[in-house]
Amino acid sequence: MNSIIIKDNTVLVQSIVNVVKARKLQAIAGEAIEKIEQNPPLTQRLLSAAKAGSLAAIESMLNHPSASFVIAAVQPPERGGETEDLNEE
């Protein structure tokens, strides 16, 4: 019986820890994104890196759990196969 209680409490505590970690990562990523948005030259360099396909290299160099949130935020949206005809009026 005690082992079941211990296991249940362990699962509960682990879920709380996971939520706290996720919130901290989101906060870190949010602050990083804010700073990137406030720095137009950096924003342009990151967008250029995204277009060149080198964001994965940047993400691996950042070596932080929140890096994937930041990279996702600066990636240009995928066009999903849509094409624009610039000649149409």
Does pLDDT of 65 surpass 80?
Answer: no
Q: Which domain holds residue 60?
A: 40-73
Tell me, yes or no, whether 21 lies in a domain: no
Whether pTM exceeds 0.75: no
| pLDDT(84) > 70 | no
Residue 80 placed within a domain:
no
Does 87 fall in a domain?
no
Domain contains 3: no
CA distance 55 to 81: 21
Is residue 69 included in any domain, yes or no?
A: yes
Question: What is the total count of domains within the chain?
Answer: 1
pLDDT at residue 78, as a whole number: 67
pLDDT tens string 3-36? 788 778 788 888 888 888 888 888 988 898 898 8
Asked if the structure places residue 14 within a domain, the reply is no
> Is 54 part of a structural domain of the chain?
yes
